Structure 1
């Protein structure tokens, strides 16, 4: 698995660097403003977490990213990112081409798939608790509140469901609540899957 995780980390980093390069080449914004917008997308933050989750344990065993609850949280973020992009965002975007198509595919499909596969086959899922589904909500809540705070100051809302000037604060808060509940539901499903896999592995493990 070390080789797989090393390659997967490189794939995740490649996707992030390529997407940033596309933004640099196509954006008329100033460098700092462009960079701010880049790191304001949940997709970028999630792929960064995936890259860290793959890479850091290879160099420093025992890191935070090896804890079952943290690994499950990153898997939940990946699932939500993929679903929201496929259902809500992709239909609103024009067709991607060239390097942008490659970067988009890596960030929204390849990297999440690699991480979810790694999570499914890794050990430790039997240690997950149902309360871990609540704990994974901290990051999405912070991200949502951060977006709503900087939006009025920056005028930039990375996603249409956070666009306060267009939809109003009340609707956006409802959107945020719905998204948070979706995160929680995904977390519960992943905990259940983790327990089921751990139970199955215990059944087929030969007696010592």
Structure 2
């Protein structure tokens, strides 16, 4: 009887111990201020230009299901000691699994409507999940914590702003490409700067940028 009770106590202790294990995000505090998850609209606001760009891509057998055209130049004329060339340039945001690959734009270039080259890296199939782990209050805490260390953001009262959180994929090795992770892009609502990139699986702040370029002048 005592042996049975002892085994029950041991099992109960193990169960309690396992239920109290800390997750990798336990150390991240919550900030219950204003933050919303958004789906950023990357599409070109010039609708005739957008329609013409998509037609140009499809006419050249370029799949558009994972692309959103953000900008296009459809009448770039060049004359080089010969006939007139009309070049077209279509810039598109890449998506995979319905999520944007953050900051991953690709350019398709055409000569008189005929495709001739691509600029930028095109990502192949992405097997990462589409389910986020870090919560919105945790994201707000991380962003505000970074902003409070930035004099510009403090002066602009960024910490008191409503924030926008965009979930997607992010390449942590852009020079070699292909090392994608799940990540968040955090900004004040309706603004591009300052922004932070936060890794989703461990709530790590990867990058913070307030949009101001500081030049380091050499001393004489």
Asked if TM exceeds 0.5, the reply is no
State the TM-score, normalized to the length of structure 2.
0.23
Q: Which structure has greater strand proportion? A: 2
State the TM-score, normalized to the length of structure 1.
0.24
> Which one has more relative contact order, counting CA pairs under 8 Å at least 6 apart?
1
